[in-house]
Amino acid sequence: MTESNQGAVGLVVKLPFATPEEFLAKYGGNITRGGIYLRAKAVKPPGTPVTLDLRLASGERIVYASAVVHFVTGQQGQGIPGMGLRFVQLDPQTRRFLDSAAASLPHAQSDTPPLPNGVGPADHTLPPSPAPPPLSAAPIASAAPRAAAGSAAPGPAQGDVVIMSAEALGLSTEEPKRTGPVIGIDLGTTNSCAAFVRNTKPAVLHSREGHNTVPSILALNSRAKLVVGHPAKGQMLTNPRQTVYGAKRLVGRPYESPIVQHIKDRFHYEIAPGDGGEAAVRLGDRIYSLQQISALILREVREVAQNQLGQPISRAVITVPAYYNDNQRQAVREAGKLAGLVVERILNEPTAAALAYGYGRKLNQRVLVYDLGGGTFDASVLELADTVYEVISTGGDTFLGGLDFDNAIVEYLLNEFRKATGRAFQGDRVAMQRINDAAERAKCALSERSEMRVHVAFVTMIDDKPYDLDVTLTRQKLTELTEKLVDRTLQVCDEVLRAKNLGPKDIDEVILVGGQSRFPLVHEKITRFFGKPPSKGVHPDEAVALGAALLAHSLGQLEGVVLIDVLPMAIGVGLPGGRFKPVLERNVSLPATKSYTVATHRDEQTELELSVFQGDSDRAADNEYLGTLKLTGLPRRPRGAVQVTITFEVSNESLLKVTAREGTTGREVSSTFTTRDTPEAARARVSRLEAEVAPAAPSPARANSRPPPSATAPRTPSSPPTKSTPPEPPPVVPSKRSLMGWLKGLFGRA
């Protein structure tokens, strides 16, 4: 301690912690928004002014404040010597840090310094001293690492929040240039992984910390900077409100969709509407799109690859769940572009795993890939014939994964807590995240043990008394809690098989992929269902990235692998009455094209409008709204005299392009779909379809489009022939015919 020029005690403390997150995790009980408790052999009396300079092990300043000694301990022969310092004036960086601590630690809301357990009673008997002087304007030293996002206010404001722009986050806004080799990236719900082929052998690329995977986690740290990967995972326990995980479940979905509304409260961070009505994330006073979140994770993976390979990387094959719809696939492609990557191909995860399993083995088998990851489940049946990998059936559930297993355990633990205390659990987000973390560890441990004690100390206060959560979880109980989830995966497998008139005995090998597939109950149920144990031929965590790398390696080679994938969900149009009519059916081989020709259904009709949906429900409202295609400027002629050819084209990446062309003028409009309409506009379209049973003129709509996929993206050599139907004759109907008329002409009897 030193005396400052103003007469205050100058207190400089160097902490044995590397990061603010580590400080909060290990010392958070000693700090609040209003003050801090420090142990000290020599204490100053209450009322003594103090200038506090608290630094991390690196020398980076974490707290700089003027304070006053509020109380002391250990001065009457009881407890441990120390001082509680009450903050009087803070520098801006310290204020942001304390606000972050208060958001994650319930006791930290206090305006006075804490009295930690075990230090004894507070002693206020020493005489007070003069009030503290104002904080000097000393420069604030900082050794903060490069931030993933700037701290300047970037982009348009919505009320009290700011919509983040790509420029403010340092993301790419231009089409990346092709440089360097092509890598494979598994963009996972829990972890992401990059792989590369050297000397014909694929291998994963290690993270900065030496791990094989990068956690798919992004966080706003105590210095209001974004961190990605392992540093972000390190603050999940101390600051869950500002830590984003599992974003893959929500990317490409409208905020107002039933799915998002159903699960948004399960996350410890805030799901908010984005600029275009899509699901987004709010961190602090800023809104981040899920494409931006995914892009920051992809950029970290890209930098990992560049560090490992020693050269710039701008090309990648990125994997997605097989059951992703067109909106979600386009969102991943956009995230890749924002990360500075040319996405050479979007590849389905089960197909990538099958490629890792069969590459170079000259197999002739029918396999089922069972992919149970952190957030999604996919099942795909493939026929392998040497270098040809043909998917014949696929299905899945984008809301079934390891997170759901964890949630089942947490629900049981909270029920046991209620039984033991007689009170429902009322802990905060930090306590819930600690319980989630303990549940995940117990789940993993019970793969090798018969029982596991789940003990989480001091999770809540009841009647001013602290309570622990302490439950012994057995493997048998874990089986009871999660058996229905495993059974759901087998139901999907059964549906995928029956779609092609296959049975379990028609499968030669079952390939398990995804971390949750290690679960012993999964192995037991798979063995029972298929009559054989699953294959151990691939690494569950690395197979998808390795398969993506193998495809990346084969691009442009004359004798590369041939992948024939299928459409995971039907794509079609909305009909009056709210019905859905598929144009391209589920499991059709890709790439696929189908064309229809329709005629105008009223005199002098000048425009044509088509609302496009994707899904397997008979009701349009239950499927994903992709967008609306509108062709205007048709020649004014009698009904039936103008014919328009509408072509649905799905690439080998399951990306959709719809084209409408009028024959006499050659007028054409096309769109690679994902909608930018607001949820209100999407609902209005579905409502209009449901109400459209009386004659009505088409209402104007905004055309929604994105740039089409790169023209140089690889295509499967064995493209199926284009299907086309001859022009329909002009329908003989009253001149004021509704949209129902030409759609009936398009599909026959609706």
Average model confidence (pLDDT) for the chain? Answer: 82
Pick the CATH number of 157-344 from 3.30.420.40, 1.10.357.10, 3.40.50.300, 3.90.79.10: 3.30.420.40
Please report the pLDDT score of residue 342 as a whole number: 95
Residue 191, pLDDT above cutoff 80: yes
Residue 490 has a pLDDT of 97
Task: Say which of 53, 371, 653, 728 is annotated catalytic.
Answer: 371
Smallest CA-to-CA distance from 21 within 225, 191, 158, 165 is with 225
Distance separating alpha carbons of residues 709 and 344, to the nearest angstrom: 9
Mean pLDDT of 705-714: 34
For 297, 403, 486, the CA distances from 437, given in Å and listed in that order, are: 22, 11, 21
Can you give the three-state secondary structure of 615-662, one letter per residue? Answer: CCCCEHHHCEEEEEEEECCCCCCCCCCCEEEEEEEECCCCCEEEEEEE
Q: Which CATH class is domain 571-747?
A: mainly beta
pLDDT, greater one: 708 or 132: 132
pLDDT single digits (tens) 230-254: 999 988 888 888 999 988 888 998 8
Q: Let me know if 541 is a catalytic residue.
A: no
Averaged pLDDT, 378-402: 93
Q: What is the mean pLDDT of residues 703-717?
A: 34
Helix (H, G, I), strand (E, B) or coil at 353: helix
Which one from 248, 443, 594, 744 is the annotated catalytic residue?
248
Residue 374: pLDDT over 50: yes
Domain ranges of the chain: 2-123, 157-344, 571-747
pLDDT at 701: 35
Confidence of residue 739 (pLDDT cuts 50, 70, 90): very low
Our answer to whether residue 463 is catalytic in this structure is no
Q: Cβ distance 300 to 228 under 8 Å? A: yes
3-state secondary structure of 12: strand
Helix (H, G, I), strand (E, B) or coil at 449: coil
Query: Which two tokens mark 416?
Result: 């046991």
State the amino acid at position 293 in one-letter form: I
pLDDT at 103: 67
Predicted local distance difference test score (pLDDT) of residue 511: 97
And the tokens for 339? 């990360």
Q: Is 209 helix (H, G, I), strand (E, B) or coil?
A: coil
2-123 adopts what CATH topology? Thrombin, subunit H (2.40.10)
pLDDT value at 40 more than 70: yes
pLDDT at 728: 37
Per-residue pLDDT, averaged over 257-269, amounts to: 85
Mean pLDDT of 22-31: 82
pLDDT > 50? residue 696: no
User: Which tokens in the block code for residue 56?
Assistant: 């991390």
Residue 155 pLDDT class (50, 70, 90 cuts): low
* CATH topology agreement for domains 2-123 and 157-344: no
Q: 354: which 2 tokens?
A: 């099958």
* Residue 371 annotated to the active site: yes
What's the pLDDT band for 152 if we cut at 50, 70, 90? very low
Which H/E stretch holds residue 102?
helix 92-104
The continuous run of DSSP H or E covering 408 comes out as helix 402-421
pLDDT for the residue numbered 477: 96
pLDDT reading at 533 higher than 60 = yes
How many Cα atoms sit within 13 Å of 205 on the Cβ side?
27
Q: How far apart are CA 562 and CA 545, in angstroms?
A: 18
> In this structure, are residues 519 and 169 in contact, taking their beta carbons and an 8 Å threshold?
no
Contact, 325 vs 299, CB < 8 A?
Answer: no
SS3 of 19-73: the string is CHHHHHHHHHHHECCCEEEEECCCCCCCCCEEEEEEECCCCCEEEEEEEEEEEEE
- Mean pLDDT across 159-181: 85
Q: What angle do CA 46, 50, 51 make, to 5 degrees?
A: 165
The one catalytic residue in 60, 186, 303, 653 is 186
Looking at residues 309-323, what average pLDDT do you find? 94
Backbone angles phi, psi at 89, to 5 degrees: -140, 140
Average pLDDT rounded to a whole number, residues 112-125: 81
Q: Give me the pLDDT at residue 726, please.
A: 38
Query: Would the CA dihedral through 409, 412, 418, 420 be positive or negative?
Result: negative
Q: How much of the chain exceeds pLDDT 90, in percent?
A: 45
Has residue 368 got a pLDDT over 60?
yes
Lowest mean pLDDT among 278-287, 306-315, 486-495, 668-677: 668-677
pLDDT higher than threshold 60 for residue 117: yes
- Per cent of the chain over pLDDT 70 is 82
* Range from 103-107, 349-353, 718-722 carrying the lowest mean pLDDT: 718-722
One-letter amino acid at 486 equals V
C-alpha count within 13 angstroms, C-beta hemisphere, residue 704? 20
Is 480 a residue of the active site? no
* Residue 472 half-sphere exposure toward CB, CA atoms < 13 A: 4
Q: Is the pLDDT of residue 736 over 50?
A: no
* Closest among 383, 387, 397 to 507, alpha carbons compared: 383
Task: Give the model confidence (pLDDT) of 534-573 as tens digits.
Answer: 998 899 999 999 999 999 998 877 567 889 999 999 999 8
Nearest to 236 by CA among 223, 213, 219, 211: 219
pLDDT of amino acid 157: 55
- 420-432 per-position pLDDT tens digit: 999 888 877 788 8
- C-beta neighbour count of 328 within 10 angstroms: 25
Q: How confident is the model at residue 628 (pLDDT cuts 50, 70, 90)?
A: confident
> If pLDDT is split at 50, 70 and 90, which confidence band does 598 have?
confident
- Find the mean pLDDT for residues 281-297: 93
Q: Which of 21, 349, 397, 542 is catalytic?
A: 349
pLDDT of residue 75: 78
